[in-house]
Amino acid sequence: MGRPKVENKKETKSFRVDPRLWQLVQSEAQLNGKRPTDVINEALARHLGGVIRGKNDIDNDKLVHFLNRLDGVAKELGDMKGAVNDYESKSRKRTS
Residue 23: which pLDDT band, with cuts at 50, 70 and 90? very high
* Cα-Cα end-to-end distance for the chain: 26
Where helices occur in 1-96 by DSSP H, the ranges are 19-32, 36-56, 60-91
- pTM here is 0.50
Q: Which range, of 4-18, 39-53, 76-90, averages the lowest pLDDT?
A: 76-90
**CA distance readout (Å), 56 to 14, 43, 66, 77:** 30, 20, 12, 25
- Angle at 63 (CA atoms; ends 21, 28), nearest 5 degrees: 20
Residues 6+ apart with CB under 8 A from 32: 39
pLDDT for 13:
80
